[in-house]
Amino acid sequence: MGDFVSAIGARAEEAAIVAELKAGSEEAYAWLIGEFQRPVYGLVYRMVSDPADAAETTQDVFLKVFRGIKNFHGESSLKTWIYRIALHEAANRKRWWFRHKAHEAPIEAGDSEGLPDEAMRQALTDHSDSPFDNVAHREVQAQVDRELRNLPEPYRTTLILRDLEEMSYEEIAEVLQISVGTVKSRLTRGRQALKERLMPYVRKVGAELGLTEPEELDSKTQIAAGSGRVEVTP
């Protein structure tokens, strides 16, 4: 009963925020940006792989949100609606990039691509680790990011939403407009595909970075790095 009451309260709070947004409240818009700007940027960056493109696309996402909020009627949660817009804009940006910019620079970004900016680095770094562990974690994360970008759709998007954005199966199903069963199937296949792509890297640098080859797992593949553990989940 407590969970049900909490859910009702959350829906009522969101409905009030949406009403304020539709009324043009500057405070509501400031709350929206504060609540969603960083996660939307992180999601878009994982899709387009370029910090400048991700920042510009994030701006486009919020422009679409501000212009379209009057047409939001609560069929899904506000978060689901915003993420759906973000994925659409990121896909548009990728198509534009391949048409207009692919010939100007290599598709693969530089060695510093793994973490988009200092804020993201700080968020992803465990400050209790030793300097060596931090380097190992960052290098493994950068490799995971590279291999994740090479996964075929729709596996990559599903993995990002589940294992990085930590969305529920139901939320992912709403965002991608597919069934929960399809979400689970894509996750299983995507995780296995990512693991297979990472195995040569683990075998090559495992001794140097203190990595151990992951065993066959039913869900998430893990790689031990130094004294901590790095989950090899996209």
**Helix-helix angle 169-176:78-100, to 10 degrees:** 50
What's the one-letter identity of residue 10?
A
The pLDDT value recorded for residue 72 is: 92
pLDDT in tens, 81-112: 999 999 999 988 877 655 555 445 443 433 33
The whole-angstrom separation of Cα 82 and Cα 19 is: 16
- Asked whether residue 183 carries a pLDDT value surpassing 60, the answer given is yes
The pLDDT value recorded for residue 63 is: 93
Q: How confident is the model at residue 23 (pLDDT cuts 50, 70, 90)?
A: very high
Q: How confident is the model at residue 166 (pLDDT cuts 50, 70, 90)?
A: confident
Per-residue three-class SS string for the chain: CHHHHHHHHHHHHHHHHHHHHHCCCHHHHHHHHHHHHHHHHHHHHHHHCCHHHHHHHHHHHHHHHHHHHHHCCCCCCHHHHHHHHHHHHHHHHHHHHHHHCCCCCCCCCCHHHHCCCHHHHHHHCCCCCCHHHHHHHHHHHHHHHHHHHCCCCCHHHHHHHHHHCCCCHHHHHHHHCCCHHHHHHHHHHHHHHHHHHHHHHHHHHHHHHCECCCCCCCCCEEEEECCEEEEECC
Question: What are the structure tokens assigned to 21, written together?
Answer: 């947004």
Taken in order 172, 199, 149, 110, the sign of the CA dihedral is positive
Neighbours of 51 (CB within 10 A): 17
The pLDDT value recorded for residue 97 is: 59
List, in order, residues 6 or more apart from 159 with CB less than 8 Å away.
148, 151, 186, 187, 190, 191, 194, 233, 234
Q: How confident is the model at residue 74 (pLDDT cuts 50, 70, 90)?
A: confident
The pLDDT value recorded for residue 137 is: 66
The pLDDT value recorded for residue 186 is: 94
- Give the residue-averaged pLDDT of 19-37: 92
Which position has the higher pLDDT, 171 or 231? 171
The pLDDT value recorded for residue 216 is: 43
pLDDT in tens, 126-143: 444 444 455 556 777 778
Structural domains of the chain, with CATH: 1-99 (1.10.1740.10), 125-234 (1.10.10.10)
